[in-house]
Amino acid sequence: MLCSFVVLYLLIVLPEPGLGKQPNILFILADDFGYNDVSWNNEDVFTPNLEKLGREGVILDTYYASTRCSPSRGALLTGLYPHRLGIQRGNIGTFRPTGLVTDFKTFPEILQAAGYTTHLVGRWHLGYCHPSYLPTRRGFTTFFGQFSQQTDHYSRIYLENEEIGEGYDLRRGENISYEGAGKYSTHLWRDEAQSLIEGWNSSNSTPWFLQVSFTAAGAPYQVPESYVKRYKKRRFRNLSEEDTIRYGMISAVDSAVGDIVKTLKQRNMFENTVLVFSSDNGVGGDVGNLPFRGSRGTLWEGGVRVPALVSSPLLNLDEGYTTRSMVHITDWFPTLLKLAGVSSDVQTDGFNIWEALQQREEFSRNSLVYSLDQDDKSGHLQHGIREKNIKFVWGNPDKFEVNKRFKKDVYHLFDLEKDPTETENLASQYPELVEKMKEKVKTLVKDVKPAFQPNRYSLGYPKYHDGVISTGWCETDWWKILWRSLN
């Protein structure tokens, strides 16, 4: 079935007969896992727990997230492409006076209204400078984790330079927490998730949504020695020291996922739980994204095509399988809300894929938006879309840079079925197809919200906040000014 790029309005109905009570939802979001960073795509990587879940459920082989962390997280929680949220250009970095637009309802907010308790463990990374941006104000009943970007995996300290000062970043709710001092981050998030599950009664009718956002395998590259021993053997001698440690971090996450699933089964909760695993974007280097071209932050396949799976007894599969149907991170929004039995008019760019997963059918989605962005200072643009097997990029596929002179008529066209690694630009050979794709982009950009990625504010520097990554130093509602011209 053909699908339109035009935003959908979804009427979510009650669960179909036979689904039973509202399912629990466990969403595992890994940081910087590339396509080549899991054992089902690369036998040299040790991820047996994730692979077992995938082999028992569905491995999503053609799965897309956004180019960077914050855009992917925003797309997940709102079901909207980042260009509708004004965060398509990049991360909401530390000390930037911005956050996820509060006018959009989030997935956990909607679940709360449907009777769910909602919980976030690990990384937030959608803004913290104003209290209204915090996860506890955006639909999460509880939060234990970090507001901002990456810190040291043991100390929870962010240090860029001495002038800015060290910034400690760990919160329980909105309060500073010093729990787990010195504990490795992956173990900290695992232990918190297990503690939450152990505190819930399996016979209780209250369903839950738990998002565990691991800070691995993002830099700094740190991991206990036990996880890197296997990667130091002769067969891995061509790995750099950095990749050796990074693969150890990946194996640590895999082990943590196995422990969490074990706890679910011990508590008799796994039978009524839907588990999703997804990465937020590709790796900054190249090895983890192979065989694809490019890295995190780019529109090349290596930056956005990442590992993902869904696993649950509720799928009612005789055996697991791998699908090559196109899936986007926004698809979880309508899919999981449908399973939760929520009745609501919700604007979404995603598609409900649950029934197709169960029936081993092709999905409704056959097109997606990689990114739509244009610098409001220089006119420099970067638009990327896919329709069926055709990928079209208007502008530079590499990392978006502002204040660059606009490069007119720069096009990339690829047939991903024949050329998944994007080695041959077909734009000059098929000018009519280029014009057709340009017209699609021109239609789509009517819905683009100007991106807001301001420079950092020194007001947020931890040296002015007793050495802590803190909130309360910026104003909100930036979109009411920036998007005024669109009304």
What is the model's pLDDT at position 391?
98
Q: Over pLDDT 90: what percentage of the chain?
A: 80
Q: What is the mean pLDDT of residues 97-115?
A: 95
* CB-based contacts of 451, cutoff 8 Å, min separation 6: 83, 86, 87, 88, 89, 373, 376
Is residue 473 within 8 A of residue 128, CB to CB? The reply is no
Query: Does the pLDDT at position 108 exceed 80?
Result: yes
Q: Residue written as tokens 């569905």? A: 58
Q: What does residue 68 show for φ and ψ, rounded to 5 degrees?
A: -140, 175
Residue 153: both structure tokens together = 């995996």
Query: Does the pLDDT at position 44 exceed 70?
Result: yes
Q: Residue written as tokens 């399973």? A: 339
What is the model's pLDDT at position 33?
98
What is the model's pLDDT at position 8?
42
What is the model's pLDDT at position 419?
98
Q: What is the mean pLDDT of residues 396-419?
A: 84
Residue 424: both structure tokens together = 């041959």
Of 11-25, 112-126, 227-241, give the lowest mean pLDDT range.
Answer: 11-25
Q: How confident is the model at residue 114 (pLDDT cuts 50, 70, 90)?
A: very high
3-state secondary structure the chain: CCCCCCCEEEECCCCCCCCCCCCEEEEEEECCCCCCCCCCCCCCCCCHHHHHHHHHCEEEEEEECCCCHHHHHHHHHHCCCHHHCCCCCCCCCCCCCCCCCCCCCCHHHHHHHCCCEEEEEEECCCCCCCHHHCHHHCCCCEEEEECCCCCCCCCCEECCCCCCCCEECCEECCEECCCCCCCCHHHHHHHHHHHHHHCCCCCCCCCEEEEEECCCCCCCCCCCHHHCHHHHCHHHCCCCHHHHHHHHHHHHHHHHHHHHHHHHHHCCCHHHEEEEEEECCCCCCCHHHCCCCCCCCCCCHHHHECCEEEECHHHCCCCCEEEEEEEEHHHHHHHHHHHHCCCCEEEECCCCCHHHHHHCCCCCCCEEEEEEEECCCCCCEEEEEEECCEEEEEECCCCCCCCCCCCCCCEEEEECCCCCCCCCCCCCCCHHHHHHHHHHHHHHHHHCCCCCCCCCCHHHCHHHCCCECCCCCCCCCCHHHHCHHHC
Whether 474 is catalytic is no
pLDDT in tens, 273-319: 999 999 999 999 889 999 999 999 999 999 999 999 999 999 999 99
Average pLDDT, the chain: 92
The burial of 52, by beta-carbon neighbours within 10 Å (0-12 exposed, 13-18 middle, 19 or more buried), is given as middle
What is the model's pLDDT at position 14?
40
Q: What is the mean pLDDT of residues 28-35?
A: 98
Residue 297: both structure tokens together = 């932050």
Q: How confident is the model at residue 16 (pLDDT cuts 50, 70, 90)?
A: very low
What is the model's pLDDT at position 15?
38
pLDDT in tens, 310-347: 999 999 999 999 999 999 999 999 999 999 998 767 88
Greater confidence (363 vs 192) lies with: 192
The burial of 389, by beta-carbon neighbours within 10 Å (0-12 exposed, 13-18 middle, 19 or more buried), is given as middle
Q: What is the dihedral of CA 231, 234, 239, 244, to 10 degrees?
A: 20
Query: Does the pLDDT at position 17 exceed 80?
Result: no
Q: What is the mean pLDDT of residues 155-171?
A: 92
Q: Kindly report the pTM of this predicted structure.
A: 0.94
Query: Does the pLDDT at position 12 exceed 70?
Result: no
Q: Over pLDDT 70: what percentage of the chain?
A: 94
Residue of 69, 383, 412, 474 marked active site: 69
Q: What's the length of the chain? A: 487
Q: How confident is the model at residue 404 (pLDDT cuts 50, 70, 90)?
A: low
What is the model's pLDDT at position 406?
63
Query: Does the pLDDT at position 204 exceed 90?
Result: no
pLDDT in tens, 166-198: 999 999 999 999 999 999 999 999 999 999 999
pLDDT in tens, 232-256: 886 777 888 999 999 999 999 999 9
Is residue 89 within 8 A of residue 482, CB to CB? The reply is no
What is the model's pLDDT at position 4?
42
What is the model's pLDDT at position 420?
97
Is residue 464 within 8 A of residue 163, CB to CB? The reply is no
Domains (range + CATH), the chain: 8-366 (3.40.720.10), 368-447 (3.30.1120.10)
Residue 172: CB atoms within 10 Å: 14
What is the model's pLDDT at position 245?
95
Whether 125 is catalytic is yes
**How many whole angstroms separate alpha carbon 246 and alpha carbon 20?**
41
Residue of 83, 119, 125, 130 marked active site: 125
What is the model's pLDDT at position 193?
98
